Structure 1
Amino acid sequence: MLPQIAATTLFAVSVEFFFMARARLLIFFVVVLDAMGIGIVFPTLPELLRVLMHGVGDPARGYGYLLSAYALSMFFASPVLGALSDRFGRRPVLLLSLLGTAFDDLMMGLAPTLWVLYAARILAGFSGANLTVANAYLADITPEEERSGAFGKMNACFGVGFIAGPVLGGIAGMYSLRAPFFLAAALNIVGAVLAVFVLPESRKVTDAKRITLAQLNPFASLRNVFRLHGIAPMLYVFCTMDMVGQVPSVLWVIYGNSRFGWTPFVVGVSFAVFGLLHAIFQSILPERFQRWVGERGSMLAGIVADTVGYGLYSIASTTLAAFSILPLLCLGGIALPSVQSMLSRSVDESRQGELQGVLTSLNSLIAVGGPVVASSLYSLARTRIPQYPGAIWLAPVLLYVPCVAMLLWWRGQRKSAEASLV
């Protein structure tokens, strides 16, 4: 009898492990395709905007409005998609999002006028919160103790796709200004086919709660999540990391050109090196750091590495010095998977989609104002302290200092609480 029970248990565990492994690989692949679809349009989108403006207005300002419109629409859409995935399952919502994004890409590729391009980009924001559902899916199929490593691999997959996308977009753009948009649509359709025929559903929806109007309101969702016990410190760290990320995303190319005289080729090499290191580090290190020093230790290690890296970058005076700091900045990325893992454990399975939607909304909200703030601070620093051209890179350092202090305090509080129970 015991051998039969053992064999049955082993078979059940093996089936569950196979399901989890296959589902995880598939969702990773879908994320790679999604990231490639996002990145593919970057090389030609500004030029397409300029063509459709017909010489009227400032293309740079128009491009900024286009990015802000996309981020703002994603802010409103993410909680909705997350709540829908809690109610109806991850797979149908992911399918809807992928097909909607494919339609938006086709609409942009065929856009005859400027207003059609803007409308398509806004619709892309409403349907493009695929990562919200993908993160909820990953949390569903991954045990709590393994989520740091899983989220790290997810971030690595997104990074790989986001790097490969602009390369493919640049090649396609050599043949036609609109070709990258059609290629992006094709990639999203491939992802949708996988979601229909290959990707299994990650959670039962028979006992799911009905969606309330509050869940469809991004501001109400933010308020509800912030009210959860003990989640505010992690949300603060998450938002700070997002704000820090706005600085290099906006200024890396501009600063590289101004400070080091980088050509487009060198800029491309810097992105490739950073992307490769980021993917490697995210795939390997988060899980190991969690075993060595725990999740809070991983967060502290990542934030300290980022802080030191940006501090050194602010005084770097040569391209070689700048490139030598890239591994340190990539090491800083180990903090995010631990934050994501701890946040995912703060809610039960029935609210994972809502939580991931709120996180994407926060990311989008920061992306609306972040570029303006970062570029304004850069201009102000160049005007007020021209003798210190790297001063802007001290902004991430200043943002991180309260995070380090809070995590150290929080760690001490937890240890004191644990000691009092002994």
Structure 2
Amino acid sequence: MITVLIDMISIGLIIPVLPALVGSFTSSPTEQAWWYGAVAFSFGFANFIGSPILGALSDRYGRRPVLLLGFCGLALNFFATALATSLWMLVAVRLVGGAMQANAAVANAYVADITPPEQRASRFGMLGAMFGLGFILGPVMGGILGAIHLNLPFFAAGTLSILNLLYGYFVLPESLPLERRKPIHWPSANPVSALRKLGQLKGIGPLVAVVAMASLAQFTLHTSWVLHNFFRFGWGPSENGWSLFAVGVMSVIVQGFLLKHFLRWFGARKLAAIGLASGAVAYLLWGLATEGWMMYAVIGCNVLAFGSMAAVQSLISNSAEAHNQGQTMGAVSSLNSLMAVLAPMVGAPLLAAVSHLPAQDWRLGAPFFFSALLQAVAAFLAMRYFMTHQAAATAAAAELTPSESATL
């Protein structure tokens, strides 16, 4: 949890300022939106290719070495970005950094290593709370430092990554014992094979589609958030930093404190479905917001959505064998990375197409409307999947003899 916290603070530091840094090399809002999409695409593409390889390496050699490699990749990424003098350098740096780090996937596999299946939803929620806490501290610090100088947050983020490397080397224990490690099967250590195997996990193919839709919606939001708020409200790094601070606060409250109660009240399946539907409404309202305070109001009301993906992730993790957690979580990360690749290809053109419009024009919310549609489809697929499996389980139970039912 400490490792993930430091990792997310370093990543959160650059979020409010990266679009502005890209803008320092461009001459118009439209050009800024296009090039920011290219920079975001490069990181997601490299991460998509690298994540299953790093996940397979973590199954073979342990989680700790791969995490340390990821911290090195992030440090290189941040320092080189701060020193970049052209747009092609930004793209190249993000390619290298994305290929070297799969920290989120390996951290999830680490949690799966040390957690019984029935506790994984709650533990993934705790890990999600660290992500949220990182987004409380990181963007605010990045906004404050970015107001002083655009490059300063990147140097701070690189320093934190070095700190995490030292912490991981001297303090973090290994979670995967030798007897649970397995040889690398290189033909399967690629994103296409990893995604195919993920879809074959005990009939959870529809959940994979849910993850894909929800992730694409979320990454489209990530790609568009800072620039949209700049075009709509005139927000700079500081204002965007505080808005992301609010997102982090809600994430920590829900995933760190409320998630266990939500799981007890609703169960993982119902929480996933309701949370996804709540997210769809939130995306729509963000796109329609005409005042900055409305963005905060929607963040505050979107409580259940912050727990939905932890619930879905636990269902996928519980369908994988113990010695395949790294590859499974790597495949989930590859799926997320694929969506991170696609999101800039959709979000940036949508934003560029409306960037010339007046600040109060409702069409400026086009990327959010696209996210709302994706999230609504994800909610529908999840509900249909859960209802179908509930009906199948009920029918199977009805066919059991009394002695078989007692045994179960």
What range is the shorter-chain TM-score in? 0.7 to 0.9
Question: Which of 392, 409, 420 does residue 388 from structure 2 map onto?
Answer: 409
Question: Which of 74, 99, 112 does residue 126 from structure 1 map onto?
Answer: 99
Structure 1: gaps spanning 5 or more residues: 1-27
- Once the two structures are superposed, residues 91-123 of structure 1 have per-residue CA deviations (whole angstroms, 9 ceiling, x without a partner) of 111112212321232233333554443322111
Q: Which has the larger radius of gyration?
A: 1
How far apart are residue 174 of structure 1 and its match?
4.5
Distance in 2 of aligned mates of 1:44 and 1:389: 21
State the TM-score, normalized to the length of structure 1: 0.82
Distance in 2 of aligned mates of 1:112 and 1:253: 22
Query: SS at 1:223's partner residue?
Result: helix
Distance 1:222 1:66, change over 3 A: same
Query: SS at 2:303's partner residue?
Result: helix
Greater shift after overlay, 167-176 or 219-228? 167-176
The match for 2:373 is 395
How far apart are residue 275 of structure 1 and its match?
2.3
Distance in 1 of aligned mates of 2:158 and 2:249: 25
How far apart are residue 348 of structure 1 and its match?
1.5
Question: Which of 46, 71, 88 does residue 44 from structure 2 map onto?
Answer: 71
Structure 2: gaps spanning 5 or more residues: none
- Once the two structures are superposed, residues 354-412 of structure 1 have per-residue CA deviations (whole angstroms, 9 ceiling, x without a partner) of 111111111111111223324556788999xx888868535245423333233222322
How far apart are residue 149 of structure 1 and its match?
1.2
Distance 1:99 1:371, change over 3 A: closer
Contact 1:215/1:354, CA 8 A, preserved across alignment = no
Distance in 1 of aligned mates of 2:13 and 2:335: 24
The match for 1:369 is 342
State the TM-score, normalized to the length of structure 2: 0.84
Distance 1:136 1:257, change over 3 A: same
Q: Which structure has more RCO (C-alpha within 8 Å, separation ≥ 6)?
A: 2
Distance in 1 of aligned mates of 2:149 and 2:226: 25
Contact 2:132/2:250, CA 8 A, preserved across alignment = no
Q: CA RMSD in A?
A: 3.1
Distance in 2 of aligned mates of 1:401 and 1:329: 18
Q: How does 1:141-180 map to 2 (within 5 A)?
A: 141-180=114-153
Amino acid at match of 1:353: G
How far apart are residue 167 of structure 1 and its match?
2.4
Greater shift after overlay, 316-325 or 360-369? 316-325
Question: Which of 60, 64, 68 does residue 91 from structure 1 map onto?
Answer: 64
The match for 1:217 is 190
Distance in 1 of aligned mates of 2:23 and 2:347: 24
Distance in 2 of aligned mates of 1:89 and 1:161: 25
Distance 1:308 1:70, change over 3 A: closer
Distance in 1 of aligned mates of 2:24 and 2:295: 35
The match for 1:244 is 217
- Once the two structures are superposed, residues 217-238 of structure 1 have per-residue CA deviations (whole angstroms, 9 ceiling, x without a partner) of 2111211222222221221221
Residue 303 of structure 2 is aligned to residue 330 of structure 1:
yes
How far apart are residue 158 of structure 1 and its match?
1.0
Distance 1:118 1:390, change over 3 A: closer
How far apart are residue 328 of structure 1 and its match?
3.2
The match for 1:353 is 326
How far apart are residue 333 of structure 1 and its match?
1.7
Distance 1:180 1:246, change over 3 A: closer
Distance 1:374 1:417, change over 3 A: farther
- Once the two structures are superposed, residues 68-98 of structure 1 have per-residue CA deviations (whole angstroms, 9 ceiling, x without a partner) of 0110000001001110000001111111221
How far apart are residue 48 of structure 1 and its match?
4.1
Query: SS at 1:243's partner residue?
Result: helix
Contact 1:39/1:164, CA 8 A, preserved across alignment = yes
Amino acid at match of 1:80: I
The match for 1:102 is 75
Distance in 1 of aligned mates of 2:228 and 2:10: 27
Amino acid at match of 1:285: L
Residue 283 of structure 2 is aligned to residue 305 of structure 1:
no
The match for 2:55 is 82
Query: SS at 2:3's partner residue?
Result: helix
Greater shift after overlay, 360-369 or 288-297? 288-297
Distance in 2 of aligned mates of 1:189 and 1:378: 35
Amino acid at match of 1:395: L
Distance 1:241 1:319, change over 3 A: same
Distance in 1 of aligned mates of 2:90 and 2:350: 30
Query: SS at 1:58's partner residue?
Result: helix
Distance 1:258 1:61, change over 3 A: closer
Question: Which of 230, 248, 262 does residue 203 from structure 2 map onto?
Answer: 230
How far apart are residue 134 of structure 1 and its match?
0.7
The match for 2:255 is 282
